Amino acid sequence: MIPVPLVAVAGNPNAGKSALFNALTGARQKVGNYPGVTVERHVGKATLPDGSPIELVDLPGAYGLDPTSPDEAVTRDVLLGKQKGERLPQALLIVVDASNLDNHLRFALQLIDLGLPTVIALNMVDLAKRDGLELDAARLEAELGVPVVETVAVRKRGMSEVMERLHTLLLAPRTIRAGEGPSHDPLNLQRRAREIAMAAVVSETPVRRITHRLDGLLLHPVAGPLILAAVMFVMFQAVFAWSAVPADALEAGTLWLGQAIGNALPEGVLRSLIVDGVFAGVGAVIVFLPQILILFLFILVLESTGYMVRAAFIMDRLMSHAGLSGRAFIPLLSSFACAVPGIMATRTIDDPKDRLTTILVAPLMTCSARLPVYTLIIGAFIPATTVGLGIGLQGLVLFGLYITGIVGALLAAIVLSKTAVKGGGGAFMMELPKYQLPRVADVLIGLWQRAMIFLKRAGTIILFTTIVLWGLASFPQAGPGQKQSDVSVAGHIADGIHVVVAPIGFNKDISLALLPAMAAREVAVAAIGTVYSLDAEDESNLETLEQRMAGRWSLATALAFLAWFVFAPQCISTIAVTRRETNGWKWPIFMVTYLFVLAYLAAGATYWTAVAFGLG
């Protein structure tokens, strides 16, 4: 079978390439990764005017064939037929921004010199017109020697003409052009691009551009940061307020489904596996889907409007003190809801080292899964008194835990960027694109792709791990008069863990909770609850979990437990997504190790300090 013709869509960042790709392929697209690198591969299907199918691949935006980022390297390698996991495209669709021809033609000239059959989409001609710029597409076609089509991708204007031109090129016998030795001197190319762009301009009326006026407000030294703070505030309100109902529904739904299936099965190992293993474990992770989707909705809208780059611009100076760039701000902020979308959002950071540092410190931001643990311990051990001025002590402790996480992340970033991830660019060079209204379909496609990535994780690695954890906790099975938590493999592992964590004040119950809490932090609460409800059979059941704990743990132990959870990387999803985003086990293992070491030291320091003050 002859493979379907492959057409590569290439162009500068911000040329409207992805919008054009979406307009041509609609929902008929797949997202994957190029082998060996964390660069997304977007392919989609389209139909030529004669009804025959072609495949389009949306290459990462690039400024040239001399790469400065892994994304640009993939673009170059695909176009030279050297990229693993991709065949050489038969034709090229170059997207250029009509109002930025001087710059975009430079890359286009390089691409034309490759000698592949080429069509140029002169995109966003409507915005150019709005800015008072009138262009002559025919003149441009004559200067460049390849077909030029005027398009407005977000309104699907010019799409059928693009397909017609591609069709003509793919039908024509391939003419191998004599290699005329393309000029690879970037400055010469740039000058040639400027000459051609100049020649193509019919008229230019200077108008005060909307983008410039908006930036006057959004990048204002005082108003800018305030507006950014307000946007972030709304985002967080939405993440927590809008997600409560669907998250509860999802939790109830998984629980109900698990029990319904469980009731249909005979009592025994299989039933326990399905209900306690699969549904309880995956359910604990799935409840975060609404938060993740809402967070990504905001990130995608901020990204597609052009505001994300402005946020990075405002925050860059502050982030640079921690050895990071402004680009790290949104991913780290997102990690307050959940580190998984935060780490996935680091894809917007160009510099691979800056990106890696950001991924490694993201789990230190206090995610929402820590809240149940914090709430339980604070409720049980910190008196609900005020420290004056109406400030509650419990709230103050919670605030302190958040601050500890932030300070820990910044210090870790400083240390990492000077040691393990040394040589980060520390550069901040970004284009500030024109502001645009996002297209609903583009946002929905992005949201759908993010949801699928997350669910595939929940469906594979997380499912596998929860089954293993369930197995460890369930076998061997307890005989009469024995406690399951004592005889199971997990119980024996807990004995081993206890030896290690006893010096930092952790008792056997905590040791037992730490293992299942690897699936997700809040599982620790359920695990502790299970231990105490089993042990409490002979006592009064009227005691709450908090009361039971308060009776058995010293304050020093409780504080050490809190300090532990500020740092401990107890979240399978985060480890899995780190493996995916760093393309191997090296960095997730490094991350887990350094965070456990920090957790141990922090808990130890807390415990011994508290004991010294007589709280043991």
The distance of closest approach from Cβ of residue 135 to another protein in the complex, given in angstroms and rounded to an integer, is: 12
Query: Is 66 one of the binding residues for another protein (CB under 8 A)?
Result: yes
Taking the least distance from each CB to another protein, the nearer of 223 and 245 is 223
The distance of closest approach from Cβ of residue 140 to another protein in the complex, given in angstroms and rounded to an integer, is: 15
Write down the residue that tokens 């691979």 correspond to: 352
Could you give the 3-state DSSP secondary structure of residue 10?
Answer: strand
The distance of closest approach from Cβ of residue 301 to another protein in the complex, given in angstroms and rounded to an integer, is: 21
Residue count, binding to another protein (CB under 8 A): 41
Cα four-point dihedral sign 546, 551, 555, 560:
negative
> Given candidates 18, 83, 99, 511, which one binds another protein under the rule CB under 8 A?
99
Within 8 A by CB and 6+ apart from 571, the residues are 339, 363, 367, 369, 518, 519, 520, 521
Query: According to CB under 8 A, which residues from 103 to 132 bind another protein?
Result: 103, 106
> Given candidates 126, 161, 431, 535, which one binds another protein under the rule CB under 8 A?
431
What six digits make up the tokens of 146? 């390849």
Amino acid identity for residue 340 in this structure: V
CA distances from 457 to 297, 432, 465, 522 (A): 19, 34, 11, 19
Query: According to CB under 8 A, which residues from 271 to 330 bind another protein?
Result: 309, 312-314, 316-318, 320, 326
Query: Is 187 one of the binding residues for another protein (CB under 8 A)?
Result: yes
Query: Is 418 one of the binding residues for another protein (CB under 8 A)?
Result: no
Q: What is the Cβ-side half-sphere exposure of residue 336, based on CA atoms within 13 angstroms?
A: 17
Question: Which window, 97-105, 490-498, 546-554, 577-585, contacts another protein (CB under 8 A)?
Answer: 97-105
Q: Are 122 and 15 in contact (CB under 8 A)?
A: no
Taking the least distance from each CB to another protein, the nearer of 102 and 141 is 102
CA–CA separation, 128 and 130 (whole Å): 5
Residues in a beta bridge with 118: 92
Taking the least distance from each CB to another protein, the nearer of 311 and 599 is 311
Would you mind telling me the total number of residues written for the chain in this entry? 616
The distance of closest approach from Cβ of residue 510 to another protein in the complex, given in angstroms and rounded to an integer, is: 42
Question: Which window, 136-144, 214-222, 397-405, 586-594, contacts another protein (CB under 8 A)?
Answer: 214-222
Taking the least distance from each CB to another protein, the nearer of 432 and 467 is 432
What six digits make up the tokens of 255? 């629980």
The distance of closest approach from Cβ of residue 121 to another protein in the complex, given in angstroms and rounded to an integer, is: 18
Of the candidates 264, 96, 115, the one whose C-alpha atom is nearest the C-alpha of residue 178 is 115
Amino acid identity for residue 9 in this structure: V
CA–CA separation, 74 and 69 (whole Å): 9
The distance of closest approach from Cβ of residue 297 to another protein in the complex, given in angstroms and rounded to an integer, is: 25
Of the candidates 329, 328, 246, the one whose C-alpha atom is nearest the C-alpha of residue 288 is 246
Amino acid identity for residue 42 in this structure: H
> Given candidates 87, 155, 208, 212, which one binds another protein under the rule CB under 8 A?
212
Taking the least distance from each CB to another protein, the nearer of 320 and 484 is 320
Taking the least distance from each CB to another protein, the nearer of 161 and 431 is 431
Residue ranges that bind another protein, judged by CB under 8 A: 63-64, 66, 68, 99-103, 106, 186-187, 190-191, 194, 211-212, 215-216, 219-222, 224-225, 309, 312-314, 316-318, 320, 326, 425, 427-432
